[in-house]
Homo-oligomer: A and B are copies of this chain.
Amino acid sequence: MASTNSTAEGIARTASSASYILKAVAGSERNAALTAVYKHLQAAKDEIIEANRKDMAAAEEQAVAGKLSRSMIKRLDLSKPGKWEDMLQGILDVRDLEDPVGKVTLATKLDNGLDLHRVTSPIGVLLVIFEARPEVIANITALALKSGNAAILKGGKESTQSFAAIARVVSSALGTTSIPPGAIQLVETREDVSALLDQDQYIDLVIPRGSNELVRFIQNNTKIPVMGHADGLCAVYIHEDADEEKAVKVVLDSKTDYPAACNAVETLLVHESISNTVLPKIASALLQVGVSLRCDLASRKALESPGLPTAMKAIIQDATPQDYHTEFLDLTIAVKVVSSLEEAIVHINTHSSGHTDGILTESEEVAERFMNVVDSAGVFWNASTRFADGFRYGFGTEVGISTNKIHARGPVGLEGLMIYKYKLRGNGQGAGDYGSGKKQYLHQKIE
C-alpha cells in the first residue's frame, strides 16, 4: 500500500493509475486478489494482533486520562472472540458475491449492425474515511477490489498501528497478484485527508463514515461528490389504528436495540386519538429500560392523567423545538402528538434526515400513503427502523448508508460503487446517414 509519492496529489495520481488497470482486470483476477489478501492476513495474524495491542495500550492510557470512552477501546479490540475470524470470513463473503462489473443493463439495436449496450463499470477512485475499527479496513478493501475501484483509506487515529500492519499485509498480498498495490492505499493523518479533498481531478467519490461533524466538514470542503449521511434522524409514527403490541415492540426495538446507531429512532409521533391509550403503554416500556422522554404539551398531558406510576411521570421532560431536530444517539426520545397522518408526514418530511422512517398501522392504505409520500431512503411499515442495514437487507455487507438524493440511497453495497458506460458496436456508420428521407433507427430491444 506504499505510494511512490506521499503527497496528496501523488497518492491520488497513483490511485488513478491503478484504477485504470483495475477496471480492465477480469472478475477472476479480482477474486484471486481477495483470496490472496485473505491468506496473507491469516498468515500475519500474530503481527497484526501485536500492532493492535499497541493501539489498545495507547487507548487504555487515554481512557485512564478520561480522554477516550471504554466503548471505543472495545471497538478497537481485534482479539475479541470471533472478531478476527469474522473479519477474514467477510473477505471471502464479498469475494463470493456476484461480480458487479460488466453487467448489461440495457441493450438496444439502433440499426442492423449498430448495437448499443449499457454495461456496469467501476466508478474509479474512492476516498473512504472511517472510524477507528480495524476490521473495517479489510471490509472496505474487499468491497473496493470486488467492485474494481481503487481506494484511498483513512481510519480513525486510535487504530493507527493496526491499520498500518493490515495495510502492509494487504500491500504485500496484492504484490503477488495482477492488481497494482497502489489500488489500495492508506493515509494516516488528518492533514492528508484535507489535501486529498482537493484532488477532484483524480478522486471520483468520497465516502465518509463517522461523526456528523466529520461528514459535514467533508461535505463543505470538497468538490468531489460525497456519499453518506451526516445525520440519522429517524422517526416512528403510531397511527390511530395501530396494533398496541406491535407499536410497543417496534418502538422499543427501534430505540433500544443499539441507541448509538444511525438507524435508531429519535422521534416518536403519536396520533391524538390514542395518546391516552397506546402512548402510555409505549412510554412505560421505554421508561422501564431507562429511556428519557422529551414530550410536547399534548403528550405530557396524556401521560400525566392516567395509569403511569408517579415515579415515572416525574422523569418526563418537556421537549424544546430543537429536540425534534436532534439525533440523540442515546437513550432519549422526543415525543409529539399529531392530529392526522398528514401532519405526521409533514413533520417527518420537514425534520427527518431522510434516513429511515416508520409507521405503525393496521391499514394498508394508510401505510402505502405514508411510504409513498415520506421522502426517506427507508420507509417502514410495522417494522423496526433498525432493519435499515446492508447486512439485514441481504447485501452481504455495506460500505455505508447514504441519505443522498442521487446515485445511491440507504445501505450501499457493491451496486452503489458502480456506474456504467455505453458501448456502441458499429460497422462504419455515420449519424448523417439517418434522418428524414434517409435511414431510420430501429431501436429494437436486444434480448
Q: Shortest CB–CB separation between residue A325 and chain B, in angstroms?
A: 13
A220 to B200 CA separation, bound complex (whole angstroms): 12
Which of B404, B419, B425 has a CB less than 8 Å from the CB of A383? Answer: B425
Report which residue of A121, A367, A369, A432 has the largest number of chain B beta carbons within 10 angstroms of its beta carbon: A432
Interface centre among A245, A373, A383, A386 (most CB of B within 10 A): A383
Q: Is B406's CB under 8 angstroms from A422's CB?
A: no
Residue contact B110 to A392, C-beta cutoff 8 Å: yes
A406 and B205 within 8 A (CB):
yes
Interface code A244-286, partner B: CB below 8 Å = 1, 0 otherwise?
0110011011100100000000000000000000000000000
- A382 contacts which chain B residues (CB < 8 A)? 425-429
Which residues of chain A (374-433) have a CB below 8 Å from chain B?
375-384, 386-389, 392-394, 404-407, 409-410, 419-433
- Is A225 interfacial (CB 8 A cutoff)? yes
A interface SS class = mixed
In the complex, are the beta carbons of B409 and A407 less than 8 A apart? no
**Looking across the interface, which residue of chain B has its beta carbon closest to that of A430?**
B253
Given contacts A114-B383, A441-B392, contact A420 B430 (CB under 8 A): no
Q: Complex: how many Å from CA A114 to CA B371?
A: 15
> A166 to chain B: closest CB distance in Å?
26
For residue A372, CB closer than 8 A to chain B, the reply is yes
Further 13 A-B residue pairs, CB within 8 A, beyond A114-B383, A249-B428, A377-B421: A20-B349, A24-B369, A24-B373, A110-B394, A225-B405, A246-B428, A371-B421, A383-B424, A383-B429, A388-B424, A389-B431, A392-B441, A407-B407
Kindly state whether residue A123 has any CB partner on chain B within 8 Å: yes
- Using a CB–CB cutoff of 8 Å, the interface residues on chain A facing chain B are 20, 23-24, 108, 110, 114, 116, 121, 123-124, 204-205, 219-220, 223, 225, 227, 243, 245-246, 249-250, 252-254, 257, 349, 367, 369, 371-373, 375-384, 386-389, 392-394, 404-407, 409-410, 419-434, 441, 443
